[in-house]
Structure 1
Amino acid sequence: MITRCETYVLREPAGSDLIETLGLEYSKSLPEKEEIIQYYDTFDWRLYQKGLALIQTGNAVYLQRISDGAYPHDQIEMKQHLEGRFWWMFPEGELRDTLRGALSVRTLLLRAQVRQKVCEFGVLNADEKTVVRLFITHTSTENGHIATLTCRSVRGYERDFENLRRRFRKLDVAHVAEDVFERVMDLAGCVPGDYSSKLNLDLNHEASGREATCEILRCLNDVMRQNETGIRTDWDTEFLHDFRVAIRRTRSALSQIKGVLPEGAVAHFKDEFRQLGRSTNRLRDLDVYLLDEETYRAMLPRSLQPGLDAVFSRLKSERRRALNDMVQILDAPEYLDLMDSWAAFLQGAQSQRGRDSAVPAIALARKFIFKRFKLVLKRGKAIGDHTPDEALHDLRIDCKKLRYLLEFFASFFPKDKMDKLIGSMKKLQDNLGDFNDLSVQQWELTTYLNEVLPRSRRADRLLCAAAIGGLIARLHDQQQAVRHEFASAFAVYAKKKNVRLYRDLFG
Structure 2
Amino acid sequence: MATEIELKLRLEARHVRKLLAHPLLKGIASQKQHLLNTYYDTPDLTLRQRRIALRLRKKGWEWLQTVKSAEPASGGLAIRSEWEVPATPGQFDFSHVDNAELRNLLDAAHDQLEPIFTTDFRRQAWQIACGDSLIEMALDRGKISAKESSTGICEVELELISGRVEDIFELTRQLQQHVTLHPDVASKAERGYRLFRNEPEQPFRAKPLPIHAEQSPVEAFRTIALGCLEHFQRNEAGLLAGGEPEFIHQARVALRRLRSAIKLFAPVLPENFVAAYGQSWQTLAGALGEARNWDVFLEETLPPIARAFPHSHDIHRLQNEAKRRVKAARRAITSLLRLKEYPRLMIEFTAAVHALSDTMGTPLKRFANERIAAHTRSVRKLAERYDELDDEQRHIMRLRFKKLRYALEFMTPLLPSRQMKRYLETLSRLQEALGLINDQVTARLLIDEAIAERQDSVAHGWVAGRQEILVTHVPEMLEAWLKAGREQSGIE
2:242 corresponds, among 229, 234, 246, to 234
Q: Mapping of 1:247-286 within 5 angstroms? A: 247-286=255-294
Instruction: Quote the offset at 1:415 in angstroms.
Output: 2.6
2:335 corresponds, among 313, 325, 328, to 328
1:81-101 deviations in whole A, cap 9, x for unaligned? xxxxxxxxxxxxxxxxxxxxx
Are the aligned partners of 1:224 and 1:243 in contact in 2 as well (CA < 8 Å)? Answer: yes
Distance 2:375 2:435 in 1: 19
1:460-483 deviations in whole A, cap 9, x for unaligned? xxxxx59x7112111101111111
TM-aligned CA distance change 1:186 to 1:337, over 3 Å: closer
2:468 corresponds, among 480, 484, 499, to 480
Distance 2:243 2:236 in 1: 11
The aligned amino acid for 1:344 is A
Secondary structure in 2 aligned to 1:206?
coil
Are the aligned partners of 1:209 and 1:260 in contact in 2 as well (CA < 8 Å)? Answer: yes
2:375 corresponds, among 372, 376, 381, to 372
1:349-380 deviations in whole A, cap 9, x for unaligned? 2xx346x3x21212111111112112222210
The aligned amino acid for 1:423 is E
The aligned amino acid for 1:245 is V
Instruction: Quote the offset at 1:295 in angstroms.
Output: 2.5
Secondary structure in 2 aligned to 1:443?
helix
The aligned amino acid for 1:407 is E
2:428 corresponds, among 394, 409, 426, to 426
Distance 2:367 2:358 in 1: 15
Are the aligned partners of 1:380 and 1:395 in contact in 2 as well (CA < 8 Å)? Answer: yes
Partner of 1:447: 449
Partner of 1:225: 233
Partner of 1:399: 401
Distance 2:270 2:331 in 1: 36
TM-aligned CA distance change 1:411 to 1:195, over 3 Å: farther
Distance 1:191 1:412 in 2: 35
TM-aligned CA distance change 1:189 to 1:476, over 3 Å: closer
Distance 1:472 1:318 in 2: 19
Partner of 1:36: none
Partner of 2:490: 505
Distance 2:463 2:197 in 1: 48
Distance 2:278 2:239 in 1: 23
Distance 1:269 1:373 in 2: 25
Are the aligned partners of 1:286 and 1:315 in contact in 2 as well (CA < 8 Å)? Answer: yes
1:311 corresponds, among 306, 318, 332, to 318
Distance 1:436 1:409 in 2: 27
Distance 1:276 1:432 in 2: 24
Secondary structure in 2 aligned to 1:491?
helix
Question: What fraction of aligned residue pairs are identical, expressed as a percent?
Answer: 22
1:294 is aligned to 2:300: no
Distance 2:225 2:283 in 1: 18
Instruction: Quote the offset at 1:348 in angstroms.
Output: 1.8
Distance 2:474 2:402 in 1: 16
Distance 1:227 1:187 in 2: 18
Distance 1:481 1:187 in 2: 48
Distance 1:268 1:353 in 2: 18
Secondary structure in 2 aligned to 1:205?
coil
Distance 1:294 1:389 in 2: 24
Instruction: Quote the offset at 1:253 in angstroms.
Output: 0.9
Distance 1:322 1:478 in 2: 26
Partner of 1:103: none
Partner of 2:16: none
1:342 is aligned to 2:349: yes
1:284-342 deviations in whole A, cap 9, x for unaligned? 222112212422312x33332x5422222122223222212211100101112111101
So what's the TM-score if we normalise by structure 2? 0.58
Instruction: Quote the offset at 1:419 in angstroms.
Output: 1.7
Are the aligned partners of 2:204 and 2:234 in contact in 1 as well (CA < 8 Å)? Answer: no
TM-aligned CA distance change 1:314 to 1:387, over 3 Å: closer
The aligned amino acid for 2:486 is V
Secondary structure in 2 aligned to 1:259?
helix
Instruction: Quote the offset at 1:229 in angstroms.
Output: 0.8
TM-aligned CA distance change 1:472 to 1:219, over 3 Å: same
Partner of 1:4: none
Instruction: Quote the offset at 1:186 in angstroms.
Output: 9.5
Distance 1:387 1:263 in 2: 33
Instruction: Quote the offset at 1:381 in angstroms.
Output: 0.5
Partner of 1:3: none
Are the aligned partners of 2:402 and 2:431 in contact in 1 as well (CA < 8 Å)? Answer: yes
Secondary structure in 2 aligned to 1:494?
helix
The aligned amino acid for 2:462 is R
Partner of 1:215: 223
1:435 corresponds, among 429, 434, 437, to 437
Instruction: Quote the offset at 1:500 in angstroms.
Output: 2.4
Distance 2:195 2:446 in 1: 50
Secondary structure in 2 aligned to 1:505?
coil
Q: Mapping of 1:117-136 within 5 angstroms? A: none
TM-aligned CA distance change 1:185 to 1:333, over 3 Å: closer
Are the aligned partners of 1:199 and 1:408 in contact in 2 as well (CA < 8 Å)? Answer: no
- The number of equivalent residue pairs is 311
The aligned amino acid for 2:463 is L
1:381 corresponds, among 369, 380, 384, to 384
TM-aligned CA distance change 1:193 to 1:239, over 3 Å: closer
Are the aligned partners of 1:232 and 1:327 in contact in 2 as well (CA < 8 Å)? Answer: yes
Q: In terms of Rg, which structure is larger? A: 1
Distance 1:190 1:210 in 2: 40
TM-aligned CA distance change 1:186 to 1:282, over 3 Å: closer
Secondary structure in 1 aligned to 2:280?
helix
Partner of 1:27: none
Instruction: Quote the offset at 1:416 in angstroms.
Output: 2.6
Instruction: Quote the offset at 1:436 in angstroms.
Output: 1.1
Are the aligned partners of 1:241 and 1:284 in contact in 2 as well (CA < 8 Å)? Answer: yes
